[in-house]
Amino acid sequence: MEHPVDLATWPRAAQFQFFRTYTRPHFAVTSRIDVTDLMLRHKPAGTSPYRASLYAIGAGIHAVPELLMRFRGDRVVRHDAVELSMTVPTKAGSFNYAYVPFHADFATFDARTKALIDEAAQKTDLAANSGERDDLAYLSCMPWLDYTSLSNAMPGPEDCIPRVGWGKITQVGARFSMPMTLEVHHALADGAHVGAYFAAVQGAINTL
C-alpha cells in the first residue's frame, strides 16, 4: 500500500519543491561495506554472499522511509514496502530483470530470492519496468570491479526510484569489504538518509 505524505507537515517539503526544479537532481554516494563475518563465517556454512547482499540492501531500503517515497505529480506518497529489481545474467551473455519481495527473515528471503533469480535467468524477455510501477528499488552487482564511484543511466529528472550498485569483494589484511553505491533523487533524500541507509545495510550484514 501507499500513503500520502502531508506536505504541510513534512520537514522536507521546501527541499522537495526546490530540487524538483533541477534537470539533474540525482546524487550518488559510494561507501565500503565490511563483509568479513559474511566471508569467514557465513559463506563457508553455505550462505550466498550475493543473496546476503541483496538482503542487506533490502533491509537498508526499508529502514529509511524517504527511500520508500515516490512522486505523484506535485504530491509525494510512501510505500509500505518495495520489491527489489536486480539484473540477472543469462546464459546468452545478456541479462534479464528479476523482481523479489523483501522479507525481514533472512532464511525466508534467501529461499524465495534464489527461486526467483533462477526463474529470471531462464527467461528470454527482459521484463523491464516501463514505468507502470514505482514500488521498486533497482539493484545491480558489478563483481568484476573494486570501484570507487558509480552512476546510473537515468530516464529523466522525474525518475525517483533508488538505485543500488555493489562491487567486488576484496581482502586487506584480515578484513573483507566491498564498495556499494546508493543513488537517490535529492527531492526525496539527503545525505543523512543515505548515511542511515548504509548504517542499516552494515547492521543487516552483521546480524545475518
Q: Where are the domains of the chain?
A: 2-206
Element (H, E) at 193: helix 191-206
The reported pTM is 0.96
Q: What is the CA radius of gyration of the chain?
A: 17
Q: Which three cell numbers stand for residue 53?
A: 547482499
Superfamily of domain 2-206: Chloramphenicol acetyltransferase-like domain (3.30.559.10)
Q: Tens digit of pLDDT for each residue in 164-186?
A: 999 999 999 999 999 999 999 99
| Residue position matching grid coordinates 552483521 | 206
Measured between alpha carbons, how far is 165 from 31 in angstroms, rounded to an integer? 11
Q: Which three cell numbers stand for residue 62?
A: 526499508
Measured between alpha carbons, how far is 88 from 94 in angstroms, rounded to an integer? 8
Provide mean pLDDT across the span 19-47.
97
**Backbone φ and ψ of 10, nearest 5°:** -70, 125
Q: Tens digit of pLDDT for each residue in 67-122?
A: 999 999 999 999 999 999 999 988 778 888 999 999 999 999 999 999 999 998 88
Asked if pLDDT for residue 162 goes beyond 90, the answer is yes
